[in-house]
A = this chain, B = another copy of it.
């Protein structure tokens, strides 16, 4: 089945609606680009007031187009778009790119206009890109529906952008650097075709090896995860997310009208679906280039080959900061190098051949380093020297690396002096960067992706011993409540098999004493009131109560104290629970994200969760492996694994708790937030206990 997005990249014929001969109009720029880059299909300018545009005969409307046409590009005023779409639909056009703005992004009537366009497209079975976008390019079909000046070199990077303008800047930046692209798609408002649709298309596109994306907001987060998780096992997806902090998110929502959502949810989704998140525009293409051109590293043992110590030191810093190691070389490699290199040269890693190194030296040394079993990755560095041609060094490196399965990324410092060498290297399949600081992040991204590809798919498993129906009936009884205290949240947790401290709810001092008597040993008493958030501050917690008298007295004192301090608070009673032994306190929680659904959280408990912001997130459903990853991403994880003589904690109990809460969140969409704080974790094999919990209900 042909992908419904194919006409956006390789159409059989294109109509440009509003095509104009006036070079001051954007539609002229579009038409010029369309005719300029080798597109072989028919091109039809549509303009009732013109005879021809750039030598091609003009048609008054799409219905009068004589030949095959399956794509229309519309650059006329937004308000005319519905009529144009109707006409396109009647003509049998399958895809329309709406360049014009004036739709959802301006609010008010623009929202309705966009809705009308969508309805018309749906009626005719047409797909839409845009509105408010700069169109598409395909370097293989030669299609170019943008008004951007110039095109990048032909290659294997596909680029999806939620910002149109950024595309122009990027094309200008990469042009002539042999950073090769397969196609470009600017998606604008994403009224119909979304970033996820294009990811699916590029996954199938034989010319695309690496998918890159600039993303501001993902509206259907769950579908994104599902698609990205599948595609990223076949091709890398490298993504730059804007709106990483409050100011950035504000900037996005003010210009697109979309809510950026929680960055924690995005980052969790990326981690779970193998998406390689980068932190800058430059890094987006630096990483994509390496993934396009080079094999993935089998490990992180890296060797530097250089003609200068300073850049090697900076590269070493960059490697170290990104989790890569300078590998020790074998004695054999060192001896081979020593045999012919300048006696002052350094044959341990970094291998410094000194300023006098000639082009053949680079190839010879590289050949020996690639043979070293301790080496996974090679980083040749060149600082241009007066007497050496960088292109010769590039050629020597290419020759020596032929057939190797070990990745290589070069750092050739400079600009003018290394331009040609860059073209030689890129054309030969080796990425070159200008500064040492680029190397670490690029290799780290390659390594992360290699690990992702090698990792078996981990599926969330149904948790045993859950009673969804019991949870549902509890929630039904709570209808109308905005929040649930510990009293109501405990049975919810129990329904999903989360262990809570033994105990029960008491309305009177006598009931409390009865529960305490049944529990035996010391108990803790906590007030149950929908009006008291911080029980401890209000005097609503008493610890270590022994026997009937102490319990009854504590009940009366607690009620009296709270009555005095907060006369308006509704006091329902108290929870009486067996005192739990000490352990490591952690938090397990869930907050429902508008785009991605239940966002699970794990972190160190107590005051430290906020002080150190030591938390990790994943989107539910969470598999056992993912829960383990969450724990491993935090410092709390280190503590729990048995840091500095601490006993190893019952990690499996936390993993189970995260998964149970994840399942609870999936099966009960009415719960907006839920938090176990603290979950007390005991030494390995001894489990974990939820000591307090609360939930917030939503309107769904």
**Residue ranges of A at the interface with B (Cβ–Cβ < 8 Å):** 24, 26, 29, 101-102, 105-106, 147-150, 161-166, 168-170, 172-173, 175-176, 214, 216, 240, 242-248, 250-252, 254-256, 279-282, 304, 307-317, 319-321, 325-326, 344, 346, 348, 350, 352, 354-355, 383-387, 413-418, 434-437, 537, 607-608, 610-612, 614, 635, 638-639, 643-646
Partner of A383, one of B165, B176, B304, B608: B165
Q: Is the CB of B251 within 8 A of A350?
A: yes
Partner of A312, one of B251, B315, B607, B611: B251
Return chain B residues, CB-CB under 8 Å to A355: 164-165
Q: Is the CB of B307 within 8 A of A248?
A: no
Q: How far is the CA of A147 from the CA of B696 in the complex (A)?
A: 71
Partner of A386, one of B147, B311, B321, B434: B147
Q: Closest Cβ of chain B: how far from A504's Cβ, in Å?
A: 30
User: CB-nearest residue of chain B relative to A246?
Assistant: B320
Return chain B residues, CB-CB under 8 Å to A434: 173
Q: Given the interface contacts A173-B434, A243-B317, A415-B173, does A326 sit within 8 Å of B251 by beta carbon?
A: yes
The 7 nearest A-B residue pairs measured at CB? A163-B310, A169-B413, A165-B308, A255-B309, A172-B414, A248-B317, A245-B320
Partner of A326, one of B102, B247, B643: B247
Q: Is the CB of B308 within 8 A of A166?
A: yes
Partner of A172, one of B106, B312, B416, B644: B416
Partner of A252, one of B165, B309, B384: B309
Q: Given the interface contacts A311-B165, A344-B106, does A607 sit within 8 Å of B644 by beta carbon?
A: yes
Q: Given the interface contacts A163-B308, A310-B161, does A437 sit within 8 Å of B279 by beta carbon?
A: yes
User: CB-nearest residue of chain B relative to A312?
Assistant: B251
**29 pairs, A vs B, C-beta closer than 8 Å:** A29-B387, A101-B354, A149-B417, A150-B416, A161-B310, A162-B310, A163-B309, A164-B308, A164-B310, A165-B310, A165-B311, A169-B384, A169-B414, A172-B384, A172-B414, A172-B416, A173-B414, A216-B313, A245-B320, A248-B320, A254-B309, A255-B352, A279-B437, A281-B314, A281-B436, A281-B437, A537-B645, A607-B643, A612-B635
Q: How far is the CA of A221 from the CA of B415 in the complex (A)?
A: 34
Return chain B residues, CB-CB under 8 Å to A164: 308, 310, 355
Query: Of residues A26, A326, A348, A415, which shows the largest number of chain B Cβ atoms within 10 Å of its Cβ?
Result: A415
Partner of A254, one of B147, B240, B346, B643: B346
Given pairs A161-B310, A252-B309, 15 additional interface contacts (CB within 8 A): A101-B354, A149-B417, A169-B414, A172-B418, A176-B416, A243-B317, A244-B320, A247-B320, A254-B346, A254-B352, A281-B314, A281-B435, A537-B645, A608-B608, A611-B635
Q: How far is the CA of A308 from the CA of B148 in the complex (A)?
A: 14
Partner of A310, one of B216, B316, B325, B635: B216
Q: Is the CB of B247 within 8 A of A163?
A: no
Q: Is the CB of B244 within 8 A of A321?
A: yes
Query: Of residues A24, A246, A311, A316, which shows the largest number of chain B Cβ atoms within 10 Å of its Cβ?
Result: A316
Q: Closest Cβ of chain B: how far from A528's Cβ, in Å?
A: 22
Return chain B residues, CB-CB under 8 Å to A325: 247
Return chain B residues, CB-CB under 8 Å to A414: 168-169, 172-173
User: CB-nearest residue of chain B relative to A437?
Assistant: B280
Q: Closest Cβ of chain B: how far from A181's Cβ, in Å?
A: 15
Return chain B residues, CB-CB under 8 Å to A162: 310
Q: Closest Cβ of chain B: how far from A365's Cβ, in Å?
A: 16
Q: How far is the CA of A610 from the CA of B281 in the complex (A)?
A: 35
Q: How far is the CA of A204 from the CA of B325 in the complex (A)?
A: 43
Q: Is the CB of A255 within 8 A of B102?
A: no
Q: How far is the CA of A251 from the CA of B352 in the complex (A)?
A: 10
Return chain B residues, CB-CB under 8 Å to A250: 316, 326
Q: How far is the CA of A313 from the CA of B263 in the complex (A)?
A: 14
User: CB-nearest residue of chain B relative to A29?
Assistant: B386
Q: Is the CB of B610 within 8 A of A612?
A: no
Q: Closest Cβ of chain B: how far from A112's Cβ, in Å?
A: 16
Q: Closest Cβ of chain B: how far from A326's Cβ, in Å?
A: 4
Q: How far is the CA of A255 from the CA of B352 in the complex (A)?
A: 8
Return chain B residues, CB-CB under 8 Å to A611: 635, 638-639, 643
Q: How far is the CA of A475 from the CA of B235 in the complex (A)?
A: 66
Return chain B residues, CB-CB under 8 Å to A639: 607, 611
Return chain B residues, CB-CB under 8 Å to A312: 251, 255
Q: Is the CB of A242 within 8 A of B313?
A: yes
Q: How far is the CA of A537 from the CA of B635 in the complex (A)?
A: 24
Q: How far is the CA of A643 from the CA of B26 in the complex (A)?
A: 56
Q: How far is the CA of A639 from the CA of B606 in the complex (A)?
A: 12
Q: How far is the CA of A416 from the CA of B320 in the complex (A)?
A: 34
Q: How far is the CA of A346 from the CA of B346 in the complex (A)?
A: 58
Q: How far is the CA of A311 from the CA of B315 in the complex (A)?
A: 29
Query: Of residues A173, A314, A417, A639, which shows the largest number of chain B Cβ atoms within 10 Å of its Cβ?
Result: A314
Q: How far is the CA of A320 from the CA of B248 in the complex (A)?
A: 7
Q: Is the CB of B280 within 8 A of A242?
A: no
Q: How far is the CA of A107 from the CA of B101 in the complex (A)?
A: 69
Q: Is the CB of A307 within 8 A of B385?
A: no
User: CB-nearest residue of chain B relative to A163?
Assistant: B310
Partner of A102, one of B344, B350, B416: B344
Q: How far is the CA of A326 from the CA of B253 in the complex (A)?
A: 14
Return chain B residues, CB-CB under 8 Å to A646: 607
Q: How far is the CA of A639 from the CA of B245 in the complex (A)?
A: 24
